[in-house]
Structure 1
């Protein structure tokens, strides 16, 4: 069921607390005839597409009002009721804003798609707290006087380049994650692999789990999580193939591990593949993403041009 218009009806409510004036903002929703009989909880989850975590947060803050009064989640709605939802605004970025270059491929009110360069982390991890896409994006938003937690919807390995989606708020993140689960959010990758792939197109369905001895690696494991990768050969060179890949699942290292398992490891991949004089990182690029617009529901497709090192590697493969 398509979401109703959500953010047009937005109004402030002034309240006094501890002797100080505070202003709360609410999103207001008029209940239509077709949604009469829904419980408040069902309406929040299925129509407004709020996550369970966000509903819990709203409940704790008494941020759900029905006709101006607090309400319990199992209360049934009537047509023409007004449901008002507290705007849980972000108070920080979640990372330290840091000046740095980002390439915005697409932006609207709900999300951004950035072009990640190779050798950069998507977000801080371990002892790396600076120099990531998340740090640079926080600075980009701060310069525009926007306070929003940095929410990557999916991630790429440090050495992989290409499209990464960031949601601008928790509701958008939840909807995009649902699109990922339902496979209406699609990701396409290009990879250069060793060998002439046979058959030239197919599906790799091999479960992935922890490596038995190396904590930073993954392994094909019959007790692991289902993992499905579709591939198609775009070009064949002497002893090298250029593949296009689509994911049904998004496990850690999935493409790299699946291709190595198939016998066609990614060139430049020092963990699962083979080193190459043509490129100093794994030749894997998140070529494009497509998803449904979060308000108007039409399809958006965003493409990340091949970076110079990847394009040069293809040229080297093509030389006699």
Structure 2
């Protein structure tokens, strides 16, 4: 009976080993060809959910061209967070992924003392209203007061492939930031449009980050898209994803994000840091086709853009 319930709640994902993978070990094949994450591989082998030619197989099994590799995929049985009624703005959705437009003042998922009122809680409720049980799997996060695109995987398989893309720089995140000043100082200090400065935790204020020797590598690319005397609009992309990376780099360069009270100063024109996840670009985990999703600037940032345009 237990075995029947197991089969009913799962399915097999099958691959035929191509000639170029002849001689590859099974775990390496799952990682490199099937894009199964380390955590998923551990669970699959522990539960004997990996098969070669119909028989359960171990991690070091050497594959031959023409072998059939199958992994057991279980249907989601929980959301992973408490569903909570709230509005979500869907920018893109299909059977594998969903992209939401996160508003300001909200965490992506529960953390620390915050267990409700997050984008993940509201997304769980969105799925529940559709009669679906989908575990909430955010691929990345934005700071509480940063707005814009957030990508979630709807299946474990999609999660593994997207995590691999994120780790290898194939998942591209682009941001828009309104900064103080005309951007001339930034371009003078970094004429190539790249800030490559290590970031670490502030030893006196652990919730803050700073540019420091011995910190982790952090690379931010930028260009000045609009220039004004009070504010300028930057378009940015990241090679790394350090906490507060854009905000720390720009503040260190003397060009802080407008309204950033942690790394800059308050602004009379906006009540939060003017930073927005403008665009996501990735290869679809099922089809391999490129997907580009954009989020419009929110109203409070549009006020700053209007100020730039009026000058």
- Normalised by the length of structure 1, the TM-score is 0.89
Q: Does 1:189 align with 2:175?
A: yes
**Superposed counterparts of 1:1-40, under 5 Å:** 16-17=1-2, 21-24=4-7, 25-40=11-26
Structure 1 position 27, deviation (Å): 2.1
Q: Does 1:309 align with 2:292?
A: no
Cα distance in 2 between the residues matched to 1:128 and 1:253? 19
- Among residues 265, 270, 274, which one is paired with 2:265 in the alignment? 274
Q: Decide whether the 8 Å contact of 2:226 with 2:308 is kept in 1.
A: no
Q: Does 1:156 align with 2:142?
A: yes
Question: Counterpart of 1:188 in 2: which secondary structure?
Answer: strand
- Among residues 197, 217, 236, which one is paired with 1:206 in the alignment? 197
- Structure having the larger proportion of residues in helix: 2
Question: Counterpart of 1:54 in 2: which secondary structure?
Answer: helix
Partner of 2:27: 41
Structure 1 position 124, deviation (Å): 1.0
Question: Counterpart of 1:148 in 2: which secondary structure?
Answer: coil
Partner of 1:135: 121
Cα distance in 2 between the residues matched to 1:176 and 1:84? 20
TM-superposition CA deviations, 1:49-89 (whole Å, max 9, x none): 11122111111111112222222222222344332211133
Structure 1 position 131, deviation (Å): 1.1
Cα distance in 2 between the residues matched to 1:51 and 1:285? 29
Q: Decide whether the 8 Å contact of 1:163 with 1:287 is kept in 2.
A: yes
Q: Does 1:224 align with 2:210?
A: no
Count, aligned residues: 303
Cα distance in 2 between the residues matched to 1:29 and 1:73? 16
TM-superposition CA deviations, 1:6-64 (whole Å, max 9, x none): xxxxxxxxxx34xx842423223333444333222222111111112211111111111
Say what the alpha-carbon RMSD is for the aligned residues: 1.7
TM-superposition CA deviations, 1:228-280 (whole Å, max 9, x none): 11111111112321111111111000000100000001111110012111111
Q: Decide whether the 8 Å contact of 1:278 with 1:316 is kept in 2.
A: no
Cα distance in 2 between the residues matched to 1:266 and 1:80? 55
TM-superposition CA deviations, 1:294-314 (whole Å, max 9, x none): 222222111100111110122
